Amino acid sequence: MNAPLKLGQSIARREDRRFLTGKGRYTDDTAPAGTLAVLFVRSPHAHARIAGIDREAALASPGVAAIYTAQDTAADKLGHLPAISEIKDAAGNRHREPPHLPMPVGKVRHVGDIVAMIVADTLDQARDAADLLVVDYEELPAVVTVAQALRPGAVLVHDEVPGNLMCRWSKGDAAATDAAFTKAAHVSKLTIRSPRQIVHYMETRAAWSAYDAGADLVTVTFGSQGVQIPHRLMCERVLNVAKDKLRLITEDVGGGFGPKYPIYAEPTLIAWATRKLGRGLRWTADRAELALADSHSRDLVATGELALDAAGKFLGVRVKAEANYGAYVSMFAPTIATTGMSKVISGL
């Protein structure tokens, strides 16, 4: 029996040898032979109505097993990809969270929104089919920055979200802070924009699946930062299947940093299509697709003010910020620029 570890004792790493000798088990490396290739066709427009999709020629293309659109996901009643953290305004109202469906119905709201899922014998055949797929877009005016989105009369990203305002959130003692600034001898003020960031991990997001017809069990192996939350949300909120009918597996992960934590459309659609086809599927994002498909971070404009007395003693700090949450509200997004920022705002 091994002796118990002591606080601060070094622990030998067990994984280094296989990583250094090229024996890591990453998602794309472990997909078995015989899986069908998946290609997601994505919107080239930031905002557009989908007037129609003609898939006849693409379906007749060699090697194509299926082409799915929002018409199919809506028929099967696939649900919303939800946020699981929340914020509330001063009146106690939860943040606005418009539907985020795996494939949007009727309208795309960002470059990269999925409009079709092509399944074929090979990825090249799926690409050929994508060239034959005809998507009729009616392009609409778009807002990209916070300033554009909040401008009076701005085009709405979601009709049910007035003024494109997800939530007006605050924390702290406003009256006491105002009083501190009123009596301050000096006020230092600074405005900073934290630009939008895209994480370029070494391993892009990927997924492959298998189907056990006898047990009606779908297994999806994908790179993630934890399978428990996506599993619960996929089963209960999106796919509406019993928890013992979907198994999620994550082995080695080549970088995470946050964006591999949320529930995403791609593995959800792969789980759904695997049961429909009764076949294993395979998808790996290419480097360009990563920038269109993964959750982004930051994109925050903040003005901070520091109140000081004549001796330089801090009396109060006040920050007003506008955060760009993008076209949809991802899983942990509500609290990152709000409660998360408030916890670190008085530090460096």
pLDDT in tens, 99-121: 999 999 999 999 999 999 999 99
What DSSP assignment string belongs to 205-242? -EEEEEEETTTTEEEEEE--S-SHHHHHHIIIIII---
Which of helix, strand or coil describes residue 105? Answer: coil
Q: Residue 194 CB: number of other CB atoms within 10 A?
A: 14
Instruction: Indicate if the pLDDT at residue 129 is higher than 90.
Output: yes
**Predicted confidence (pLDDT) at residue 76 exceeds the cutoff of 90:** yes
Hey, what domains does the chain have and what are their CATH numbers? 146-164+172-198+296-344 (3.30.365.10)
Percent pLDDT > 90 in the chain is: 95
CA dist list (Å): 304 to 168, 182, 337: 17, 16, 14
**Residue 1 predicted with pLDDT over 70:** no
**143-160 pLDDT, tens digit each:** 999 999 999 999 999 999
Q: Which of 68, 66, 69, 75 is nearest to 106 (CA)?
A: 69
Task: Tell the residue number behind the tokens 């609290």, with chain if given.
Answer: 335
Residue range 6-11: mean pLDDT, rounded: 91
Encoding tokens for residue 146? Answer: 């916070």
Average pLDDT of span 16-25:
93
Mean pLDDT over residues 254-267, rounded?
96
In the block, residue with structure tokens 């791609």: 266
Q: How many residues does this entry show for the chain?
A: 348
Does residue 46 surpass a pLDDT of 90? yes
- What pLDDT, in 10s, does the model give residues 272-322? 999 999 999 999 999 999 999 999 999 999 999 999 999 999 999 999 999
Query: Using CA atoms, how far apart are residues 300 and 241, in angstroms rounded to an integer?
Result: 38
Give residue 3's pLDDT band: very low, low, confident or very high (50, 70, 90): confident
- When mean pLDDT is compared across 12-16, 39-43, 178-182, 232-236, the lowest value belongs to 12-16
Helix boundaries (H) for the chain:
16-20, 27-30, 56-59, 70-75, 123-132, 146-150, 174-182, 228-233, 265-277, 287-293, 333-336, 339-344
For residue 71, what pLDDT band results from cuts at 50, 70 and 90? very high
Output the average pLDDT for the chain.
96
Measured at the CA of 169, the angle between CA 159 and CA 179, to 5 degrees, comes to: 140
Where is average pLDDT lowest: 85-89, 162-166, 303-307, 344-348? Answer: 344-348
